[in-house]
Amino acid sequence: MNEWARTWGLRLLALGIAIGIWFNASVEDRLVVSEKVVEASVTYNSPRGFIITSPGPQSVNVRLRGTKKAIRQLNPYLVSVQVDLSQRQIGLVNISLEAKSVQTPDGLEAVSVEPKTVRVDLEREVGQRVPVVPEIVGKPASGAIRGEPEVSPSQVLVTGPEPMLARLNSLPTRPINLDGHTFTFEEKVEVVSPNPLIQIAPPGSVTVTVPITPPGTANETPQPQQEKEKGKPT
């Protein structure tokens, strides 16, 4: 056998081996089943008119099954768990997490979810008007006297979980500083919510008028009209 034939024979042998390896790997990618555990985000879907006050975990572990190729190319961010609360009772409730609630890319299926149950607090969302109490800080100028602040409007509309609003007696404003003030003034300030679940309806602000009596005028008493006329010439 000459050198030329030997060289081409070795080349063909190497090509055959490479094709065999590729074919075996391709078949393995398409047929061999594999599993992988990924961390998946959880979305809680509450029905209209209700609000989740205490959601369960924001992520859970999901065991996936699929071909080796699908597992290798998996993007974990495409795996999520949807929790439907439309048929749940009000208050604390334990919800079972099932594989059918997991959304996965094509070619993969969810085998199990861990933890298997989560606890969620679902409450009715209501609205009510709540009085506003201005938050006053600082002191007016020396000798000046502050009167009782007036708020307009005196109440604001809020929405939130029914148990929270039942305990809500009033809402404060952003602090209003009296330092250096000598005369009555008014200021538009935001109303502050004590909890992110309690939403204040627009515009979310009120106008506060702070009466201030200037120094030296607090004790002045207007004279009656008849006393003023005594000194007039007849």
Report domain extents, the chain.
32-123, 134-213
Measured distance CA(209)–CA(135) in Å, rounded: 12
pLDDT of residue 85: 84
Kindly give the pairing relationship between strand 33-45 and strand 80-84: parallel
pLDDT at residue 225 in the model: 43
Kindly report the pTM of this predicted structure.
0.66
Query: Yes or no: is domain 134-213 CATH 2.170.120.40?
Result: yes
pLDDT, position 55: 80
**What fold is seen in the domain 32-123?**
RNA Polymerase Alpha Subunit; Chain A, domain 2 (2.170.120)
C-alpha–C-alpha distance, residues 17 and 39, integer Å = 39
pLDDT at 48: 86
Q: What pLDDT shows up at residue 228?
A: 42
| pLDDT value of position 234 | 42
Distance CA(143)–CA(59), nearest Å, equals 60
Amino acid at 54: S
Q: Do the domains spanning 32-123 and 134-213 agree at the CATH topology level?
A: yes
**Cβ contact 136:210 at 8 Å:** yes
pLDDT for the residue numbered 56: 85
Question: What pLDDT does 3 receive?
Answer: 64
Angle at 17 between CA 73 and CA 13, to 5 degrees: 155
Q: Which residues of 52-86 are buried (b: 16+ CB within 10 A; e: fewer)?
A: bbebbeeebebbbbbbbbbbeebeeeebbbebebe
- Mean pLDDT for back-to-back runs of 10 residues, the chain (234 residues): 60 60 50 78 88 88 87 88 81 86 89 90 94 95 92 96 94 95 95 95 96 76 43 46
- Please tell me the predicted confidence (pLDDT) of residue 221: 46
